[in-house]
């Protein structure tokens, strides 16, 4: 958002112009809808003689730390849950040519990671959601938005790669039950993460 846009909105509100009229004028001047809404959201709807600025969300080091740990726990949980399911699939449908050669150390590591990371992710999610309920302006946290969209990007990339691998093997006539199940595992995990955070971001936009 530019200072020019912010200044225009402030002066327009100071002249008691209606928000829909300000928005319409800015959109007609080719400003982006997101920029216009963000500029209008900087000022509270009030009968005060001059525009009243809203309190800007403050990003503390503690909040950044909490979100970084939360999303790290999410990635650890997703990777190791997939690894664990891959191991079960390998046991149930071993390669006829190679048999099953599971790695007991990797299996123990996946289980240990899930025991630690998943409860920690749930606990941190609960803490951050309660903090947002107490202070709704925390939804606008930049670190939260960045990590959310980075997660959406990673999940989308995994889903695209998963579909490419499925189509590649389908065209080559190399589909096996083991491969299909692994594709479905990746699709399920990445799809759930993508769907949840996409829903959360849309919910945030509606509440803004």
How is 143-178 classified by DSSP, letter by letter?
Answer: HHHHHHHHHHHHHHHHHHHHHHHHHHHHHTT---HH
Q: ∠52-56-62 over CA atoms, to 5°?
A: 155
Q: Read off the pTM.
A: 0.74
| SS3 state of residue 53 | strand
Do 141 and 64 form a contact (C-beta atoms < 8 A)?
Answer: no
Q: 57-71, 101-115, 131-145: lowest mean pLDDT where?
A: 131-145
Look at residue 158 in the predicted model and tell me its pLDDT: 96
Model confidence at 105: pLDDT above 90? no
């Amino acid at each position: 958002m530019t200072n020019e846009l912010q200044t225009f909105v402030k002066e327009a509100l100071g002249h008691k112009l209606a928000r829909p009229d300000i928005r319409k004028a800015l959109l007609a001047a080719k400003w982006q809808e997101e920029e216009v809404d963000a500029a209008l959201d900087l000022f509270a709807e009030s009968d005060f003689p001059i525009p009243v600025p809203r309190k800007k969300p403050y990003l503390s080091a503690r909040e950044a730390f909490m979100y970084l740990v939360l999303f790290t726990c999410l990635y650890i949980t997703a990777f190791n849950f997939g690894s664990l399911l891959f191991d079960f699939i390998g046991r149930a449908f071993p390669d006829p040519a190679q048999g099953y050669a599971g790695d007991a150390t990797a299996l123990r590591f996946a289980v240990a990671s899930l025991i630690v990371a998943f409860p920690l992710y749930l606990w941190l999610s609960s803490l951050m959601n309660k903090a947002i309920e107490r202070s709704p302006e925390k939804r606008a946290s930049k670190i939260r938005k960045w990590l959310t969209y980075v997660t959406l990007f990673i999940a989308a990339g995994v889903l695209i790669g998963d579909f490419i691998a499925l189509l590649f093997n389908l065209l080559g006539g190399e589909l096996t039950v083991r491969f299909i199940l692994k594709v479905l595992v990746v699709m399920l995990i990445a799809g759930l993460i993508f769907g949840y955070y996409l829903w959360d971001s849309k919910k945030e936009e509606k509440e803004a």
